[in-house]
Chain A
Amino acid sequence: MKNKMIFKVKELSNTLMLDLSDNECEAIINELDNSIKLLSSIPNLSSVEENFHYFDDLKIPNTMESLRKDEICILDNVDKIKKNMKDLKNGLVKV
């Protein structure tokens, strides 16, 4: 299990493009190992109170409404966006 974890952490450090020393790698693996052991020691909770959601009581407006407003904003600015896209293609942003 731990070997698999070592392999995975090294793979992730490459994916996330983060250089790590051996000591740093070991510290991460130890913390992960301890955490996952603790998590595995408890029964599966995925079915517990499945209909309940922790933010049920909040009065957050329907996000679709906000999305539609953003969409309208984009439509209102089509010409500006087209110009920006053209500028981008012309190398305004240099990498």
Chain B
Amino acid sequence: MSEILKISSVIKQDLKKVSLNKEETINLIKKNKKFNAYTSIVDNYTFFNKESCSPLFGIPYAVKDNINVEGTITTGGSLFLKNYISPYSAHLIKLLDKVGAIPVVKTNMDEFGLGGDGIYSAYGDVINPFDNTRITGGSSSGSAVLVAKKLIPFSIATDTGDSIRRPASLLGIFGFKPTYGLISRYGVFPYAPSLDHVGILANNIYDIALVSDVIVSHDEKDFTSQKIDSLKFIDTLSNFKDEDFKKYKICVIQNILDFASKKVQNEFLKLLKDNDIKFNLENLELDIIKLIPLAYKIISYSEAVSCYQNLTGITFGEKSNKKNYQEKIKDIRSKNLGFELKKRFIFGAYCTSEENYESIFLKSEAIRNKIVGQAKKIFLKYDFIIMPGSSSIAPLIKDVKAKKATTNLCDDYLQIANFGGFPSITIPALKIDKNFVGINICGKINSDNLLLAFANSFFKKYSEDI
């Protein structure tokens, strides 16, 4: 127990270095408006516990703008909800309220999370603070920028494909997506419920562990919430010894790594080899891994169109002046939803229409099953899969907008963790031509505490100096 308190006190000091108090944090964030990283500031939050003795007491944090925080405007990065005030807080926010952490800012994001580059928000592109000609990655782009600029100690965000881990890789920070069902999604806008996860972005793993100890908890209001014994993240982290690192078996998936840029491949393997990190190379069935992005697209778009049928402008959101009921809906949806969203909705509706359901949607589910089956076979032999956090440095915005730069299989590998619900963390590790590329570590279901401890040890030993 004393060890925990010792660590907690160190963390609190570390957190204080980043942001001294609520007001200073808010001022600092406002001064950095140029990054377009936030949609609104939360200045008068009154729901937190003023009596808490948690190390998170009084610590300001950021919330991705698709998570309800009572009394705040929650836009989801969409014009459709530009005036929507959350009537209640997400379960995880209430857990943070209890320990006295304070949400101070809602962060900009790709519209409803449907976009992976940080350039699909109705409120404008989020600016990469290290090179404004390059994307930040997304959809948790604003959260990642505030953390990367050390304007906020941590941000709560969501990850359906790689939305926490890809920006973490491109901006040189830590991004953690836990096992499916460990953090309640009650009060969080859905994108694709069978793939959606809530996670954390921060500048070190201790902070992630500290927050995880608070928000990893069963919630009866979320039908997919797991009921397991406490994972004791800080305990596991503090009990993990340097020599423990070598006990674990590591694998790199060769034929996915092959799709990364040559520079990323070389630097990644150099880091492992120079540090004498023991690992084995494995291959997944190539025909199947090539289908990861396709299966992801079909499944996530199909679930998204189902989730967002309630965006009618009748019960909530922006309203239309048209007289006819149908005209009202068409007017408000057409004016307030971005093209990326419309495209994904129509794509999803096409895949789930009666004539295509079996040949397209169910076939994609079978592919997902097969991919997860292969990943599980790997986890029978190994404890962790280690891969680059992204296939390249952050692409140029102009190339992404002109569709000259797209993600490839090495990026899409991250979606395996969403397909199977595996815990996955991206940590800062490489610098290529002055740009960040992280390393991603994926672990077994519900071994999240061990994953964080292992990743922390990896970072301290091999990549802290980047």
Contacts and interface: CB of A to CB of B under 8 A. Distances in A.
Tell me whether A and B are bound partners.
yes
Given A17-B333, A18-B334, A36 B369 contact: no
Interface residues of B, number: 52
Given A18-B330, A46-B362, A69-B220, A60 B343 contact: no
Contacts of A1: none
B364 A24 contact: no
B28 interface: no
A32 B181 CA distance: 31
B279 interface: no
Contacts, number: 120
Contacts of B297: 35
A94 B23 CA distance: 41
Contacts of B345: 16, 18
Given A9-B346, A59-B227, A60-B225, A54 B330 contact: no
A85 B420 CA distance: 42
B346 A13 contact: yes
Given A54-B369, A54-B419, A17 B329 contact: yes
Contacts of A18: 330, 333-334, 337, 342, 345-346
A92 to B, nearest CB: 12
Interface in B419-444: 419-421
Nearest to B229: A59
Contact of A54 (B314, B364, B421): B421
B110 to A, nearest CB: 17
A20 B346 CA distance: 10
Contacts of A5: 350
What is the predominant secondary structure among interface residues of chain B facing chain A?
helix
Interface in A1-50: 5, 8-9, 12-13, 15-20, 24, 27-28, 31-32, 35-36, 38-39, 42, 44-46, 48-49
A54 B369 CA distance: 6
A15 B343 CA distance: 14
Interface string A58-76: 1111010010010000000
Contacts of B420: 54-55
B223 A63 contact: yes
A60 B446 CA distance: 12
A8 B337 CA distance: 21
B225 A39 contact: no
Given A12-B346, A28-B347, A60-B226, A49 B220 contact: no
Contacts of A13: 342, 346
Interface in B352-393: 353, 358, 360, 362-364, 366-370, 372-373
Interface string B178-198: 011100000000000000000
A35 B298 contact: yes
Contacts of B314: 95
Nearest to B182: A58
What is the predominant secondary structure among interface residues of chain A facing chain B?
loop
B227 A61 contact: yes
Given A35-B297, A60-B181, A54 B372 contact: yes
Contacts of A55: 180, 420-421
Interface in B257-303: 287, 291, 294, 297-298
Interface in B199-248: 218, 220, 223-228
Contacts of A54: 368-369, 372-373, 419-421
A74 to B, nearest CB: 14
B88 interface: no
Contact of B334 (A19, A44, A53, A69): A19
Interface of A: 5, 8-9, 12-13, 15-20, 24, 27-28, 31-32, 35-36, 38-39, 42, 44-46, 48-49, 52-55, 57-61, 63, 66, 69, 93, 95
Given A8-B350, A31-B343, A59-B446, 16 more contacts: A16-B349, A17-B330, A17-B333, A18-B330, A27-B343, A28-B343, A35-B347, A39-B363, A45-B367, A46-B358, A49-B369, A52-B369, A54-B420, A58-B180, A61-B218, A95-B314
In the A-B complex, the 7 residue pairs with the closest CB atoms: A19-B334, A45-B366, A54-B372, A17-B330, A57-B445, A17-B329, A12-B349
